[in-house]
Amino acid sequence: MPWRLASAAVALLLVSIAASAPPAEGASSPKEVAATTPPRRAPEWLKFKVGAEFFLRGQSRFNAKLDPTRGDREHAILQRARISADASAGPVRAFVQFQDARQWGFERSSVANMANTDLHQGFLEIGGEAAKRGLRGWLRVGRQEVILGGRLLLADNNWNPNAQAFDGARAVGQLGRFGVDFGAFMLGPPGNFTVMDTSAAPSTSTRHSRGSYLGYASFSADLHPAIAVEAQAFGALYRPTAAEPTRRRELLDLSGRARGEPLPGLSYVVEGHGQVGAIQGREHRAWLWFAELRQVARSVKIAPGAYGRLVWGSGEACEGAPPDGCNGRSSRDFYRFYGFRHAVYGQVDMGGLTNVRDLALGGVLAPHKNLHLDAGYNLLQLDQASGRWIDAFDNVMGAGWDPQNRARNLGQELHVNSDWRATEHLRVQAGYGVFLPMVAGRRLLGPAPLHFAYLWVIATF
């Protein structure tokens, strides 16, 4: 076999010589061809992006019920993990986002799976733009987060690990300085459900619901840097469900909002709401005022600033004691729908938008471009002294109400917060607040102060 070995050696030598020889005139070497050949890419008309988010917050409440007895403490570590895919081709866009939201330790065991991963958002969007005419807009259909105006009635509620999303359709359009925003969403599907009747001999009955729905229309105009206005109509129809077989609400909220920056660093917001309709067959009439004035010295490196805010929501004077029910002849409690549960009326969440007067004063500071600090004070009162005390999560606090009460002052809150954007993808927030009950707060709930502290880490990619 020597001749075969010799032939192989000769062939190997010829290949080596060919590889090392300079290319012919006008030809390219293999390395040059590899360097100049563009990598295979997706078509220019197709855009695709993958995103991820990790959310972790530890929080503690001490004297959560304003009662210093042993065990009146609440601690939790809340976590959220999200992954999303965003694809667009021309005017068409599809977005899908899954999330797992949990509280540490809630699984039954280390190998349990409580199936708490779900679709948070998933929608199809069709949009377009005519830049020369200042016209742009889009139509979105599917499950989606919705933020409307000042977020008092409709928000994403990002503070909650589950956040908030709705099933339906939304259309947004902009023509120069003028904009429109329409939305229609299904809160509960139509269909039959079964309820247990315990009034006599236990039995079941089948009932039919035509479904529950939410809709709004918003019109806006950016007239000048000093003034932008919005007008909104917001309505909801709640029908009975298996969980609430007697539920029936028909509500309409009409609102106006003005905001602007008349002077550099000086901004304002004024918002008013009026509500009509019926709740459980009772006539509903309610209102809300919201106003904020903020001054930030942007010309100073640390950007010091101050703000003042007023939230005033109507309430219903109760005629009956808590065991017998409020027994008001009509509904006057402002209905919050799906708005902010946090931030605009205190850090400790002892007040909401119902039967409330909340005066807030505070200061802000930016010692570094990536670090923002704020400290605030809230005075929380009842609008109707004999009405219900409702917190930020729509819970009736303590005894709920006292028809003989004449004191309005529920308590005072002091809080501090920091917001550090450590990197482009990492944000860290921390804060502490204390609620000090006053005359009405002590009467309805208790004398002990409530402490709240949190540390929140958010990573987005």
Mean pLDDT by 10 residues, the chain (461 residues): 44 40 46 52 79 96 70 87 96 96 89 86 94 89 94 91 96 95 95 74 77 96 96 94 85 97 96 96 95 94 96 93 84 92 81 94 95 96 95 89 95 97 96 96 91 96 94
Q: Is residue 25 part of a domain?
A: no
Q: Is residue 56 part of a domain?
A: no
Tell me what pLDDT residue 240 has: 87
Question: Based on the structure, what is the number of domains in the chain?
Answer: 1
Q: Is residue 300 part of a domain?
A: yes
Tell me what pLDDT residue 195 has: 77
Q: Is residue 2 part of a domain?
A: no
Domain of 419, in residue numbers: 66-73+125-460
Q: Is residue 31 part of a domain?
A: no
Tell me what pLDDT residue 111 has: 84
Q: Is residue 361 part of a domain?
A: yes
Tell me what pLDDT residue 68 has: 56
User: CA torsion angle for 362, 65, 394, 194 (degrees, to 10)?
Assistant: 160
Other C-beta atoms closer than 10 Å to the C-beta of 106 total: 10
Tell me what pLDDT residue 25 has: 44
Tell me what pLDDT residue 207 has: 80
Tell me what pLDDT residue 378 has: 96
Q: Is residue 312 part of a domain?
A: yes
Q: Is residue 291 part of a domain?
A: yes
The CATH number given to whatever domain includes residue 298 is: 2.40.160
